[in-house]
Structure 1
Amino acid sequence: MISLAALLLVAAQPATGSAAETAIQAFEPQGFTTRFTVEIEAPVTEVFEAATGDVTGWWDHSFWPDPAEMVIEPRFDGRFYERFEAGSDNGTLHARVIFVRAPYQLRLHGPLGLSGRAFDMVTSWSLEDAGAGDRTAFTVELHMAGEIDAEMAAIVRSVWVHFIDARLRPWVEADCHLAPDEACSAFVTQP
């Protein structure tokens, strides 16, 4: 039987050949938190339903050029996944739903677009009535830790602002969520 000391001694020996060319690089784990709120001209329940389920119509960042589906399952232990092609098991798991109190709160745990890094993120959504039942305050709170620096944390924040303010808000306010298979007038560019 090999002792732990012998294993450590072997592991401490310098690498030879092509393995020596693969350096081990340290990174400084860091953590960041941020939050923002976007007001959307629609009731809380309508906004929550538009923000979950099939989000392909408004979510515009993906690993696959034209994914068959992108879905946020609004239930505990639900998934936020991207299926690359219809009927295929190829895809990616962006996050898991770790908390849901529909239609007021949803919390995701996962790397989202930073898959492949030693990175952990908890994304919390809070939706509340912002006036007479026809306006929603949609708050996103991000907690990020790991292989991330301040510049990347700012990019993550700006992408989330883009998702909610530049994509979800116009998607809902143009009633595109009511006809998700049709082109959304909010995203059509004029020639």
Structure 2
Amino acid sequence: MVNQDLVDVFKALSHPIRIDILDDLKKQPLSTGEITEKYDVSRYAIMKHLNVLVDANLVLIRRKGRVRLNYLNVIPLQKLYNRWVSKYEAPLAQGLMQLKNLVEEREEEKMEQTTERKVDSFEIEQEIVIQAAKETVFKALTQDINSWWKFRLGEESSTLIFEPQLNGRFYEDWGNGEGALWGTVTYFKENEEIRLNGLLGMSGAVNSFYSYKLSEDDNKTVLQLTHHAAGILEPHWEEAHRHGWNELLFVHLKNFIEKK
């Protein structure tokens, strides 16, 4: 992240309404009209705030017909965290992890007792810039996926395979004919776009679709992720996938490509 990017992010976070808008978008994407209804200011003022957030890449705009939907993009916040926060965590890591594990165990017990799945949906939009050509990024998303996709449904030693073609599979091979399907390719345009249908660790009555779109800008590639899921969802699945995508794309994929 160059210094001007940092300036834009800090500027975006300097106004309480913009912070509140980001909190609202953390829950779900909202149209500009829906955001305006939440605040006692004019639509023009909200548009100005949104433009500042867009300039800082904290909000992504996607259009559905005549409606402008605004999505939270957590990548710039992750960059701030990595630059100033993460390196100070090491001395406290062991104690914090023990506390974290204890709290999570208690929360899981509560959820098992009181929480039920319900029919719901979520939409995740993320966008990252990678210092490489589209062809390099596309190759990493397909041929090299076993090298950077760190999540596994089986053993850590299992192999991830992506078949780069329509109806191709993205699957995890455990050996001896065993494994797990992460997704099936429903749209494939080389160096441009991939769409898949796959549960991505969820289970049950769920429809889940995710896609990658690539565009090149001055020897850099903008990778746009979209993930939609609907069905009988557990409450934590949206947040887990939001953080999971952020880790996979911003940390693992980006580092794999840029440090080669």
TM-score of the two chains, using structure 2 as the length reference: 0.53
The one of 105, 130, 138 aligned to 2:217 = 130
CA distance in 1, matches of 2:228, 2:151: 20
Deviation at 1:54, TM superposition (A): 4.2
The 1:164/1:101 distance shift into structure 2, 3 A limit, reads same
Report the Cα offset of residue 34 of structure 1: 1.8
Give the residue type in structure 1 aligned to 2:174.
F
- Counting matched residue pairs gives 146
Question: 2:231 aligns to what?
Answer: 146
Q: Distance in 2 between matches of 1:122 and 1:37?
A: 17
> Does the CA-based 8 Å contact 1:119-1:148 persist in structure 2?
yes
Q: Is contact 2:173-2:180 (8 Å) kept?
A: yes
Q: Distance in 1 between matches of 2:124 and 2:256?
A: 24
1:53 aligns with 2:152: no
SS where residue 56 of structure 1 aligns? helix
- Mapped partners of 1:125, 1:75: distance in 2: 14
Larger radius of gyration: 1
Question: Matched residue of 1:147: which SS?
Answer: strand
Q: Does residue 104 of structure 1 match 2:192?
A: yes
CA distance in structure 2 between the aligned counterparts of 1:67 and 1:74, rounded to whole angstroms: 22
Say if 1:40 and 1:117 are closer, same or farther in 2 by CA, change over 3 A: same
Aligned partners of 2:222, 2:144: CA distance in 1, in Å? Answer: 21
- Structure possessing the higher relative contact order (Cα contacts under 8 Å, 6 or more residues apart): 1
Q: Which runs of 5+ in 1 are unaligned?
A: 1-24, 176-191
> Structure 1 residue aligned with 2:130, among 31, 40, 48?
40
Paired AA for residue 89 in structure 1: G
Partner deviation per Cα, 1:37-91 (whole Å, 9 max, x = no partner)? 0100100011100111241110111012234420121210000000013xx2111
TM-score, normalization by structure 1:
0.71
Q: CA deviation at 1:109?
A: 0.2
Counterpart CA distance in 2 for 1:146 and 1:171 is: 34
User: Within 2, Cα distance between the matches of 1:68 and 1:150?
Assistant: 29
Q: Is the 8 A contact 1:39 1:130 kept in 2?
A: no
Q: Aligned residue for 1:158?
A: 243
What code does the residue aligned with 2:171 have?
A: Y
Equivalent residue of 1:112, what SS? coil
CA distance in 2, matches of 1:63, 1:78: 19
User: How far apart are 1:110 and its partner, in Å?
Assistant: 1.0
* Structure 1 SS opposite 2:201: helix
Secondary structure at the counterpart of residue 236 of structure 2: helix
The 5 Å alignment of 1:1-191 reads 27-85=117-175, 88-114=176-202, 116-131=203-218, 134-149=219-234, 151-175=236-260
Would you say the 8 A contact 1:32–1:150 is kept in 2? Answer: no
Identity of aligned residues (%): 25
Q: Which moved more, 1:103-112 or 1:63-72?
A: 63-72
1:117 CA displacement: 2.5
